Structure 1
Amino acid sequence: MDFEKVKTIVSDIKQKQPKIDRVMFVGCGASMADLYPGYYFISHESTKLLSSIQTANEFNYNTPKGVGDRTIVITASLGGSTPESVEATKKAKKLGAHVITLSMTAASPIIKATEYKLVHGFQENYAAKTEKMSYCLALAMQIMADFEGYKFYDEAMTAFAGMPALIEKAVKAVGPSAQEFGEKYKDEQKIFVLSSGASLGVAYSTASFLLMEMQWVTAPTVHSGEYFHGPFELTVEDAPYLLFMNDGSTRQLDARALTFMQRFDAKITNIDAKDYGLGEVASANVIDYFNPMIHTGVMRVYAEELAKARKHPLTKRRYMWKLSY
């Protein structure tokens, strides 16, 4: 990752507009989920900046009235051609916002439409699959550092430096447990996916894309803190659950849900960030925001093994790439 480019982009925005009061994160699907850690960081750490996250077509059709020259809008599209996200990028720019866009494709329509661009990796390895969300988080931290101040900035940079190796170490170790997951859940038609904190976006993307889109498995997303406010009524013996447990401030929320599921002998897979040594690279002051990277890397291996067990490739679709919609 090019952290100097992140610094240059935010510095250039500050030179043009010394006062920023709003940071918006806009995208679709998995790309919107990858923006979630950045949104979560600003919404929890900043005392001055408003922060929101929106799906692109809602931004297009019901644009927040506060978007203007004191707004930074961060958009994203993996391949760079998602029509709704391209349009949102153009609209934000037209409204005078400072638009930063993330994509893995340098010549894509969304990159051509933006003011500031960051081209990230994806195919190289499992760690690269987290670059989009890492860039977004780095942007959020740099924005706060430059416009408000962030006293744990150096600790965050240390965590960024350690994450790629930590992810690659983790994915090399999870083969047996990922295979067990595939066999254990291969016949399930519904899997509940839970998490909290910055990893709620990972729960959402896992449910909506790795499971519903790529495996045609019904997958409700449940916030661990909301589990006891309705959804826990469906917890019975062998009910299938996938939990992304955080190492950090919201761990108690995840642990409470896990304890209840165990009490009723539900079928549980717990991907716990603590098991993969997240605390070895991320200090207690910043660890909350780095859970999504380790969860994403590990879950990709789990998804690959589930696809093998179900004999349903992750690339198989009914409608996507086949129909106009």
Structure 2
Amino acid sequence: MLGFEENEFRTQLASAVALRPRIEQLVDELLAGGVDNVLLVGAGGTYAQMWPYEQLARERSTLPVRSAIAAELVVAGDALLGERTAVVFTSVTGTTEDVLRAIEYVQAAGATTIAFTGYPESPIATAVDHVLVSEPKTWPFDMQLLLFVGRLLDRRGEFAGYASLADELANLPEAMVGVARQAEPMAEAFAEAHRDTDYYFLIGGGPIWAFTYLYSMCILEEMQWLRTTRVHSAEFFHGSLELLEKDTAVLVFQGEDRTRPLTDRAENFVKRISEDVTVFDTRNYVLEGFSPENRALIAPIVLDTVMGRVSKHLERVRDHSLDLRRYYRVLQY
């Protein structure tokens, strides 16, 4: 597979899943200490990656769990923030400046801080109260967030399926290698057909909306300098659909949760307008070792793996490195 370091990929995912005992112990300690609200704080892609777990808690729990943009939190605050707040941060490098400022801000309010990162000596790792370290460059953070939020809800009697999910996550590294292999031919064909496409319209909903936003902003825009429109499938019929034309390249991201019919509805409509609609549906992938209910919960990880293959092939056909930036961490801001 193009640009795919299979052993490294497997090791990274396994290192995140292996944090389960420490995550569970930490959650138990937080609850015993009286934590009664949780903030999930990130910047850019790590902020978007928090949304499915805010939604998971919102659907199942009365515990206040909400996501926040690091920079906005510092200037706008949060009424719940205090000594009974646990704040979770994620950072691949452990150096994101907005996150570092947010850590300082919430600690001044007395909150307990937790970070997931791949670098134990990084500024973020050394600034928080509790750091849980995976292999360097491990991405995404969905595994750790599933375990953290899932354990919280489980201990509160609000997530009966947590033990099953946590057990099945042990199968994730091999399952995702399998997904990458399944996706490779499609990814190559998609990239070849879209080497000259300069505008994409992306649709997703429910817990998949986070990945839709992330892929649009962080990959197609930031890493490939392509123009995009992204729209939540539940909001599809309110505005952005007017941009659709016969030759608009549409990407539909589909999961397996209860919001699926909303994305089905949007998909059915766009296929009436555009002749270039590609559906990336997690149902199309074999996931050995995962039950139907848990497939829905790991759908963002599946899509991240699938679209990782697409990204590598777009990089090749467009001769545009995924590491190339004009402004991000290049100019002062």
Q: Normalising by structure 1, what TM-score?
A: 0.92
Quick check: 2:171–2:288 contact (8 Å CA) kept in 1?
no
In 2, Cα distance between equivalents of 1:168 and 1:264: 35
Q: Which amino acid aligns with 2:235?
A: E
Out of 34, 45, 50, the residue aligned to residue 35 of structure 1 is 50
RMSD (Å) for aligned C-alpha atoms: 1.7
Q: How far is 1:143 from its partner?
A: 1.3
Q: Which amino acid aligns with 1:299?
A: M
Farther off after superposition, 307-316 or 227-236 = 227-236
In 1, Cα distance between equivalents of 2:43 and 2:219: 15
Quick check: 1:235–1:264 contact (8 Å CA) kept in 2?
yes
Q: Which amino acid aligns with 2:191?
A: G
Q: Which ranges in structure 2 are unaligned for 5 or more consecutive residues?
A: 1-16
In 2, Cα distance between equivalents of 1:34 and 1:25: 9
- The answer for the alignment partner of 1:129 in structure 2 is 139
In 2, Cα distance between equivalents of 1:88 and 1:55: 9
Q: How far is 1:63 from its partner?
A: 0.8
Out of 242, 245, 261, the residue aligned to residue 254 of structure 2 is 245
Quick check: 1:278–1:294 contact (8 Å CA) kept in 2?
no
In 2, Cα distance between equivalents of 1:141 and 1:25: 14
Q: Normalising by structure 2, what TM-score?
A: 0.90
Out of 10, 25, 33, the residue aligned to residue 16 of structure 1 is 33
Sequence identity of aligned pairs in percent?
26
- Indicate whether 1:6 and 2:23 are aligned: yes
- The answer for the alignment partner of 1:56 in structure 2 is 70
Q: Which amino acid aligns with 2:313?
A: E
Q: How far is 1:222 from its partner?
A: 0.7
Out of 280, 292, 305, the residue aligned to residue 313 of structure 2 is 305
In 2, Cα distance between equivalents of 1:201 and 1:164: 22
In 1, Cα distance between equivalents of 2:134 and 2:45: 15
In 2, Cα distance between equivalents of 1:101 and 1:281: 27
Deviations 1:214-234 (A, max 9, x none): 000112221111111222222
4+ aligned runs moved over 6 Å, structure 1 = none
Q: Which ranges in structure 1 are unaligned for 5 or more consecutive residues?
A: none
Deviations 1:49-94 (A, max 9, x none): 1122111000111111210122221111110111110111122122
Q: Describe how 1:172-251 pairs up with structure 2 within 5 A.
A: 172-251=181-260
Deviations 1:149-175 (A, max 9, x none): 421112222342232222110101222
Out of 91, 94, 100, the residue aligned to residue 108 of structure 2 is 94
Q: How far is 1:146 from its partner?
A: 2.1
Quick check: 2:254–2:280 contact (8 Å CA) kept in 1?
yes
**Count of paired positions:** 316
- The answer for the alignment partner of 1:324 in structure 2 is 332
- The answer for the alignment partner of 1:293 in structure 2 is 301
